[in-house]
Structure 1
Amino acid sequence: MDEVKVAGPPGIRDDGGVGRNWLLGYGAAWFGYWLVILLPPQFMTPHLIGHIAPDDKVGVLSYLMVQNSLVVVVCVPVAGMLCDRSRTRFGRRRVWALGGFLLAAVPYAMIGAQTSWPVVAGLMVVVSVGASAVLASLSAVIADRVPPHRRGAASAAMGVPQVIALVVGMILVTMVVTSIPWSWALIAVLAAASPLPFFLARTRSRPAERPMAPSTDAPMDMPADVVADPVGAPRPGERVPFPRPRKDPDYYWALTSRVLINAGNLAGTTYLLYFLTDVLHRPDPETSLLILTLIYLVCCATTGWLGGKASDLLGRRRDLIAVAGALQAGAAALLAIAPAWPAAMAGAVLLGAGYGAFLSVDQALVTDVLPDQRSRARDLGVINAAQNVPLAFGVAWLVLTFVGGYRVLYATAAVIMLLGSVSVYRIRSVR
């Protein structure tokens, strides 16, 4: 992709309108999305299922996670393709994002009041459909609006709120609103409100690549993705082929790396509450989980921001992702070798440091290898959907049911994440 050409003093690169305020607003929108996505598997769904189906909590939780993953796998690429081809006066990205938030928030608010897990499963399907629309549209904004030399910072604005949302949400639902029904409703309202400042504000930001000829009567303060197709949307009826493995191998290696690292991470973290309860026998496992999450937050937020800045300055995204994956693998290996509370705290440090760096660099790397600007949301949607293939939950279910306990699960997760770290070096077009 061509970098934005601007006039200015030598050595100074224009930020393309992606300044601090833009990054804060973009981060707030992602904060709302991560609230919806992360709190259920990390705490809220295990807590709910532990109350309404205590005798089969592992099986029910695994089913719900697999179901939601399959919905995302199907819906995100479809939503991305439709988003690429949408044309509205309010902008194609914001319409899909705001609609997705609304579709997800309403059933989300109802889940905590249910006493039947099949009803919970049905509501979660609708939540996943809405979240898919948000993911497809919101992730395409980086490719649409952000110059290449600012994509690490934008990727950090996308990734760091993931940890903040998890910790803020955990504090809210464990210390502020402990009622299960009201905790789900609170998170739904907060998630729906978070993206409003970013998507309802007018913006003068410029596209990341040279725009097509703009309409002369388009006001300058219209939404950035409204002005005469500035990001190369496909023409009506135009067919944009999917990336081909032989022609675009870097795209598929980026997909593989993301899938493996995310799968290894999820395989271990999703069942952490049960690990603290059933293996470490913590007297208050919910508080213990909150302590680990706070440690994770500090490390993740630190390396998340630094990783994004470093990848923009150094341009070595592959190395940073490989190190990030190895740190996470080290955290999982530590729990497999020494399942004790001190090891869990040390693992939280490694996991937070690794995942923070991964979040801040991976999206920038994926954006850099997109093969066609006409299908950004669709192609990003395929990668985002692929990382939701229920590999993690399938592996966890097999290991916990047929192979061994949580120590074997964490050892398996470590191996998966190391494979993801190695596979990133098959990418050739990005350093």
Structure 2
Amino acid sequence: MATLDPANASRGMAESLPKAALPQSSQPAPVSRAWLWHFALAWFGFWLLVMLPGQFMVAKISATVSPENKVGVASFLIAETAIVILLSVPVIGVLCDRTSSRFARRRSWVLAGFATAAVPFALVGLQTNWVIIALLVAVVALGEAAVLVALSAMIADQVPVNQHGRASAAMGVPQVLALAAGMVLVTMLVTSVPGSWALIGGLGLLCSLPFLLRFNEPPATVVSGNRASLRHAITLPRPSGYPGYYWAMASRVLIHAGNLVGTTYLFFFLSDVLGVKNPDDSLLILILIYLVACGFTSWLGGVLSDRWGRRRIFIALAAGLQGAAALLLAAMPTWDASMVAAVLLGLGFGMFLSVDQALVTDLLPNPETLGRDLGLVNTAQHIPIAPIVGWLVLSVAGYRSLYLVAAVIMLAGGLAVYRIKNVR
């Protein structure tokens, strides 16, 4: 009869529990407010590079370089970005977990990622051939993947469980602020296509530097390079052993996809369906309404979820509010309905941003593979569901059908979170 190794048994039991269940002594020391503010600024730079192309800049440059096939070009560029991130994040996650550097493993990848993303980003606006644009966008996506892996892993590395909601808000709230500030910059201050891409690329890189240069990263145990440890690093967590992790992943994928289905084509919805005179200005108005509502729930959701120790109810409510926004546009495609939908979407997405990352971080299976496991979740949300669904629906139907599909996808994401049993 085989004997049971107590050390292995206790280690396996610890790995099967979410971080919240581990002893407090194993938790990192609390981070300061200054750390959270600088961390948020780095995410602000990242979200400038990520959000503006998907919400406005890709649609604008597609209409400029290929007006006769603008929907097809925009869908391709967005799908291409998603596919590059989808393929590269798991690999970068493994490499990041195993990196040893004097500058620190996470910061090295964050800095390299920002440089790789920002420089070609600044060159995109100078191009007139969409094929060259697509090549540059692929390089940008590779850099974004590196930042996404390493910067999000810092939450699991350096932040205790009772601050996960605040750190999640520091990651999510800048997404809202970056979209607001960026839209003002590219629609009102620097409106030329070349200038707007150069400006956002430069700002994205600069915003990362204060955090990277001011705060030291605590030393990490370097995983040995033998074949067994490498096999462990690339072996996915077992769904039967960590079902909550995979249900959290499914919930994030669905809610993100539904939101993107509804928002990616909003510029075309305003011009082609509502027939507004100036789609740029109209989109900016809706985004500002959305962002005010988003800001109302973003920080509040993170703080309350930490205080009450609950995550699922906030995710479900966030999905319901966003689904209601999409259903409203499907039922009443008018300008007034669009403004109400912007409020509902903002309230829901702000709450989602401030709690979802905390939920996922609470469920990470193994402290030795934090970058990889967070990378898998962050990669999954970039599965190109939105551009595929958008292209298919708009090819055979109209925008009412598109928003109905978006609502169904987001509501399914809200239901999925209740399949998680080991987090409240």
Q: Into which bin does the TM-score normalised by the smaller protein fall?
A: over 0.9
Partner AA of 2:68 in structure 1: D
1:413 pairs with 390, 406, 412, which one? 406
What is the percentage of aligned positions where both structures have the same residue? 54
Q: Which residue of 2 aligns with 1:183?
A: 196
Q: Which residue of 2 aligns with 1:341?
A: 335
Partner AA of 2:421 in structure 1: R
| Contact residue 233 and residue 375 of structure 1 kept, 8 A | no
Pair 1:78-2:91 in alignment: yes
Secondary structure in 2 matching 1:327: helix
The 5 Å alignment of 1:208-357 reads 223-225=216-218, 227=219, 229=220, 232-237=221-226, 238=229, 239-240=231-232, 241-357=235-351
1:52 pairs with 62, 65, 71, which one? 65
Pair 1:201-2:201 in alignment: no
Partner AA of 1:374 in structure 2: E
Give unpaired runs (5+ residues) of structure 2: 1-18
Give the paired residue count.
399
1:360 and 1:187 map into 2 onto residues whose CA distance is 24
Give unpaired runs (5+ residues) of structure 1: 7-13, 203-222
1:17 and 1:395 map into 2 onto residues whose CA distance is 42
Partner AA of 2:154 in structure 1: V
2:168 pairs with 135, 155, 167, which one? 155
1:401 and 1:224 map into 2 onto residues whose CA distance is 49
Cα offset for 1:191? 0.2
| Contact residue 3 and residue 148 of structure 1 kept, 8 A | no
Q: Which contiguous aligned blocks of 4+ residues in structure 1 show a shift greater than 3 angstroms?
A: 3-6
Residues 269, 3 of structure 1: alpha-carbon distance in 2 compared, 3 angstrom cutoff: farther
Cα offset for 1:236? 2.5
Secondary structure in 1 matching 2:277: coil
Cα offset for 1:179? 1.1
Cα offset for 1:17? 3.8
Residues 167, 3 of structure 1: alpha-carbon distance in 2 compared, 3 angstrom cutoff: farther
2:156 and 2:189 map into 1 onto residues whose CA distance is 38
1:19 pairs with 29, 32, 41, which one? 32
| Contact residue 280 and residue 341 of structure 1 kept, 8 A | yes
Q: Which string of whole-angstrom CA distances, capped at 9 and with x for unpartnered residues, describes residues 49-104 of structure 1?
A: 11110000011111111111110000111111100000011110000000000001
Pair 1:138-2:132 in alignment: no
Cα offset for 1:235? 2.7
Q: Which string of whole-angstrom CA distances, capped at 9 and with x for unpartnered residues, describes residues 297-344 of structure 1?
A: 111111000000010011110010000011000000000000001110
Q: Which string of whole-angstrom CA distances, capped at 9 and with x for unpartnered residues, describes residues 135-161 of structure 1?
A: 000010100000000000000000000
Residues 3, 347 of structure 1: alpha-carbon distance in 2 compared, 3 angstrom cutoff: farther
| Contact residue 107 and residue 217 of structure 2 kept, 8 A | no
The 5 Å alignment of 1:360-371 reads 360-371=354-365
| Contact residue 30 and residue 160 of structure 2 kept, 8 A | no
Q: Which residue of 2 aligns with 1:429?
A: 422
1:233 and 1:176 map into 2 onto residues whose CA distance is 47
1:394 and 1:302 map into 2 onto residues whose CA distance is 32
Partner AA of 2:358 in structure 1: A
Partner AA of 1:150 in structure 2: Q
Please state which structure has a larger fraction of its residues in helix.
Answer: 2
Secondary structure in 2 matching 1:195: helix
Partner AA of 1:247 in structure 2: G
Pair 1:98-2:111 in alignment: yes
2:72 and 2:63 map into 1 onto residues whose CA distance is 11
2:88 and 2:406 map into 1 onto residues whose CA distance is 26
| Contact residue 139 and residue 380 of structure 1 kept, 8 A | yes
2:341 and 2:142 map into 1 onto residues whose CA distance is 33
TM-score, normalised via structure 1 length = 0.91
2:295 and 2:45 map into 1 onto residues whose CA distance is 17
TM-score, normalised via structure 2 length = 0.92
Q: Which string of whole-angstrom CA distances, capped at 9 and with x for unpartnered residues, describes residues 193-216 of structure 1?
A: 0010001113xxxxxxxxxxxxxx
1:75 and 1:378 map into 2 onto residues whose CA distance is 11
What RMSD, in angstroms, separates the aligned Cα atoms of the two structures? Answer: 1.3
2:83 and 2:384 map into 1 onto residues whose CA distance is 7
2:103 and 2:259 map into 1 onto residues whose CA distance is 37
Q: Which residue of 2 aligns with 1:209?
A: none
Secondary structure in 2 matching 1:194: helix
Partner AA of 1:343 in structure 2: A
| Contact residue 44 and residue 177 of structure 2 kept, 8 A | yes
Q: Which residue of 2 aligns with 1:11?
A: none
Partner AA of 1:194 in structure 2: C
2:370 and 2:223 map into 1 onto residues whose CA distance is 10
Partner AA of 1:126 in structure 2: V
Q: Which residue of 1 aligns with 2:142?
A: 129
1:233 and 1:312 map into 2 onto residues whose CA distance is 31
Q: Which residue of 1 aligns with 2:13?
A: none
1:299 and 1:272 map into 2 onto residues whose CA distance is 18
Segment drifting more, 239-248 vs 46-55: 239-248
Partner AA of 1:412 in structure 2: V
Partner AA of 1:235 in structure 2: S
2:251 and 2:168 map into 1 onto residues whose CA distance is 16
